[in-house]
Structure 1
């Protein structure tokens, strides 16, 4: 079965940036693109208040999707969904079984974090699946080589999603650095313990170079991850989204939410099983 990448598009700048990035990814992965536009007419839509929504008619949407597909240099299929995005994505995922769901991050700089209800966060809460978020400010769509895997030192399991990460890492030839952020310079878990927790998932298998370890001291984990992402030596941040992050009442204070909103580089979110 040909692998695929599921791309959400609303024809705005952020979606176009994500499409460029996904197209570059699809080539070495031998993947086709599934281009999904969701007609978002629900008052429950998480971006009805803060985001830009396309108001194209069904016919105009179909024509726009066709034009976009015709300009792509990789195999592509197009679909139009309806209603809440999370449900439309879950339906598409169940039929296409993509490697990743890819979407762009619009400009939320004028909106306080606590008011931002993004599609990415809605998807994580209602239909967790490996998801790649591409910021609208990204200057280059070059393939990621230097990948930062942020961990909290606790054991984790990502089940079938480990295969996706291994496939991406092996095919792209990435250099994987494991980042452990702790409040104090003297971490409560050792480098050996952190690296062992990653190796048990199989994420370090078949890499072109051995995994590296990096420790940062930061009172807030999100601050440490964002500082590392801004250092200029990282092309992609990988986050582990634990189930408790999806349902917590203070979700917007979670590490996942903050990094998704502010990372200068693309973020790959891998939902954990435990």
Structure 2
């Protein structure tokens, strides 16, 4: 199954970590990399005034892109987009049909969540697509083997994304644990419902056995973050329903909270 990974780079530490992580993933997936840098020159850009943008000249940018591409050990295509990142990403996705968008998460520890305007959240709201967000603090870029998949217990389908996500999980031969966060014991949805919702998608066909875990917490996001520790897992998978990233309170959604605070890479897959 030929595929590609679309990597966003701004030449800062977070995106370089994400590029290293994606390069390591590309091998077992048989994937090439599409390296995308977006010249974010719009005054409406959410991060224009945060100091998180590179202001390289065209010559310096071309040199940096070529340097990145030449240092990679997998096939790579380098591109430069312009304007708002979410729109440039949507254009690249339409042309390359990648399995994932991969990007780094900078250090937002000194900024209140309500003031954080991240590229990942903007992309999810503008053009939802499977996305892997790699935190800036990640040190170990070894292939992820222990996957924690958080679902709410309601049935879901991944539509056209199911094949690529199944390919990723099976190629990595992951150990999959389905997590259900419950406010209290005896709730309406159970971990058995959560497991059933995952199994019926076919994602775990070649990953038997699949483990389950229940965490009691009134806040689903806090429950996921409490379980997603580096000593126990290598990656978190979130199945994000449209209501979780299209609402006005997106920054308060489970998806947003986990993306902003997880110490592990987070793979977000929009449900259909």
- TM-score, L = length of structure 2: 0.97
Shift of 1:231: 5.8
Shift of 1:192: 2.9
Residue aligning to 2:264: 265
SS at match of 1:155: coil
Determine whether 1:249 maps to 2:248.
yes
CA displacement, residues 207-259 of structure 1 (integer Å, 9 cap, x when unaligned): 1x311111111010000000111262110000011111122111111000000
Shift of 1:100: 0.3
Determine whether 1:148 maps to 2:148.
yes
Residue aligning to 2:38: 38
Instruction: Please give the residue correspondences for 1:86-97 in structure 2 after superposition, counting only pairs within 5 Å.
Output: 86-97=86-97
- 2:181–2:224: 8 Å Cα contact kept in structure 1? yes
Deviates more, 1:197-206 or 1:254-263: 197-206
**Alignment length, in residue pairs?**
272
User: How many Å separate the matches in 2 of 1:101 and 1:191?
Assistant: 29
SS at match of 1:181: strand
Residue aligning to 1:69: 69
Shift of 1:139: 1.3
What RMSD over aligned residues (CA atoms) do the two structures have, in Å? 1.2
Gaps of 5+ in 2: none
Residue aligning to 2:58: 58
Residue aligning to 1:117: 117
SS at match of 2:209: coil
Shift of 1:50: 3.1
CA displacement, residues 45-98 of structure 1 (integer Å, 9 cap, x when unaligned): 122233510001122111110011011111101000000000100000011111
Residue aligning to 1:137: 137
Instruction: Please give the residue correspondences for 1:164-203 in structure 2 after superposition, counting only pairs within 5 Å.
Output: 164-203=164-203
Deviates more, 1:122-131 or 1:159-168: 159-168
- TM-score, L = length of structure 1: 0.97
Gaps of 5+ in 1: none
